Chain A
Amino acid sequence: MSKLGNLGARLHRGEIGYDFVRNRKIWYGISILITITAILGLTVRGLNMGIEFQGGAVFTTPKTSVSVAQAEEIAQDSSGHEAVVQKLGTGGLRIQIAGIDTAKSDHIKADLAKDLKVDPEKINADLVGPSWGEQIANKAWQGLAIFMVLVVIYLAIAFEWRMAVAALVALIHDITITVGIYALVGFEVTPGTVIGLLTILGYSLYDTVVVFDSLKESTKDLTKQTRWTYSDVANRSINATLVRSINTTVVALLPVAGLLFIGGGVLGAGTLNDISLSLFVGLAAGAYSSIFIATPLVADLKEREPQMKALKKRVLAKRAQAAAGEELVEARTVGGPLVDDEPQDAAPAVVGQRNQPAARNRGRGRPSGKRR
Chain B
Amino acid sequence: MSWPPTRPRGAGRPEREYEKVAAPKKGRSASAQGKPGRSLALILIAIAALTGGMFASGHTTPRLGIDLAGGTSITLKAKSGQESAINKTNLDTAVDIMERRVNGLGVSEAEVQTQGDRNIIVNIPKGTNSQQAREQVGTTAKLYFRPVLTTELANPPASADPTPSASGSPSKKADGTASPSSTATSSGSATPSATATSQGRAVTDALKADATTSPSAAQSASASPSAKASTSADASPSANGSDAAAAKLQQQYATLDCSDAAARAKTGVGAKPTEPTLACGQNAQKQWQKYILGPAEVAGTDVKKAQAVYDTQGAGGWKVTMDFTSAGTKKFASITGKLAQNQSPQNQFAIVLDGEVVSDPYVREALTGGNAEISGSFDQTEAKNLANVLSYGALPLSFEEQSVTTVTAALGGEQLNAGLIAGAIGLALVIVYLVAYYRGLSLIAIASLLVSAALTYVIMSLLGPTIGFALNLPAVCGAIVAIGITADSFIVFFERIRDEIREGRSLRPSVERAWPRARRTILVSDFVSFLAAAVLFVVTVGKVQGFAFTLGLTTIFDVVVVFLFTKPLMTILARKKFFADGHSWSGLDPKRLGAKPPLRRTRRPSAPVDPKEA
Contact = CB atoms under 8 A, between A and B. Distances in A.
B531 A151 contact: yes
Interface stretch (B283-291, B309-317, B494-502): B494-502
Nearest to B111: A131
B422 A6 contact: no
A247 B410 contact: no
B407 A147 contact: no
Interface string A268-292: 1111100110010001000000000
Interface in B534-561: 535-536, 538-544, 547-548, 551
Given A72-B412, A205-B528, A258 B423 contact: yes
Interface stretch (B245-253, B337-345, B589-597): B589-597
B406 A88 contact: yes
Given A89-B407, A209-B525, A370-B14, A195 B478 contact: yes
B499 A139 contact: no
A158 interface: yes
Contacts of B594: 5-6, 8-10, 12-13
A57 to B, nearest CB: 10
B18 A69 contact: no
B209 interface: no
A258 B429 contact: yes
B70 A86 contact: yes
Interface stretch (B159-167, B393-401, B598-606): B598-606
A272 B529 contact: no
Interface of B: 14, 17-18, 21, 70, 73, 91-92, 95-96, 99, 111-116, 119, 121, 123, 405-412, 414-416, 418-419, 421-427, 429-430, 433-434, 436-437, 473-475, 477-478, 480-481, 483-485, 487-488, 491-492, 495, 498-499, 502-503, 517, 520-521, 524-529, 531-533, 535-536, 538-544, 547-548, 551, 592-596, 598-599, 602, 606, 608
A2 B591 CA distance: 11
Given A244-B495, A275-B473, A369-B14, A254 B426 contact: yes
A147 B531 contact: yes
Contact of B541 (A55, A139, A192, A255): A139
The 10 closest A-B pairs by CB, nearest first: A258-B426, A252-B484, A9-B594, A263-B422, A129-B114, A255-B426, A143-B539, A195-B474, A267-B418, A89-B406
Contact of A255 (B408, B430, B488, B502): B430
B498 A263 contact: no
Nearest to A340: B602
B591 to A, nearest CB: 10
A133 B91 CA distance: 12
Nearest to A7: B594
A181 interface: no
B416 A247 contact: no
Contacts of A241: 495
Contacts of A272: 415, 419, 422, 473, 477
Given A205-B528, A251-B430, A343 B598 contact: yes
Chain A's interface size range is 35 or more
A213 B520 contact: yes
A213 B418 contact: no
Contact of A199 (B429, B528, B551): B551
Interface of A: 1-2, 4-6, 8-10, 12-13, 55, 58, 68-69, 72, 84-90, 94, 126-136, 139-140, 142-144, 146-147, 150-151, 154-155, 158, 191-192, 194-196, 198-199, 201-203, 205-207, 209-210, 213-214, 217, 240-241, 243-244, 247-248, 250-259, 261-264, 266-272, 275-276, 279, 283, 341-344, 360, 366-367, 369-372
Interface centre among B17, B551, B594, B608 (most CB of A within 10 A): B594
Nearest to B473: A192
A136 B111 CA distance: 12
Given A147-B531, A210-B492, A250-B433, A369 B539 contact: no
A251 B484 contact: yes
Contacts of B485: 203, 206, 252
Nearest to B20: A369
Contacts, number: 312
Nearest to A209: B525
Given A199-B477, A248-B488, A262-B421, 17 more contacts: A8-B495, A12-B499, A128-B114, A131-B112, A134-B92, A142-B539, A147-B531, A199-B551, A206-B525, A213-B521, A250-B433, A252-B481, A267-B421, A271-B419, A283-B484, A341-B602, A343-B598
Contacts of A155: 528
A55 B111 CA distance: 13
Contacts of A370: 14, 18, 606, 608
A202 to B, nearest CB: 5
Main secondary structure of the interface of A (DSSP, over half): helix
Contacts of B544: 136, 139-140, 143, 194-195, 198
Contacts of A214: 521
Contacts of B536: 140, 143-144, 147, 198
Contacts of A250: 430, 433
Nearest to B547: A195
Contact of A9 (B70, B502, B548): B502
B602 A342 contact: yes
B121 A5 contact: no
Contacts of A254: 426-427, 429-430, 433
Contacts of B424: 258
14 contacts: A1-B436, A8-B495, A69-B412, A88-B405, A135-B541, A195-B475, A201-B532, A203-B481, A206-B526, A206-B528, A244-B491, A257-B426, A268-B415, A275-B473
Most chain A C-beta atoms within 10 Å of own C-beta, residue among B405, B415, B526: B415
A147 B532 contact: yes
Contacts of B112: 131
Contacts of B421: 262-263, 267
A271 B412 contact: yes
A55 B429 CA distance: 39
A215 B198 CA distance: 69
B491 A276 contact: no
A251 B483 contact: yes
A196 B92 contact: no
A199 B478 contact: yes
A255 to B, nearest CB: 3
A88 B595 CA distance: 66
B480 A259 contact: yes
Given A129-B113, A135-B96, A259-B480, A12 B502 contact: yes
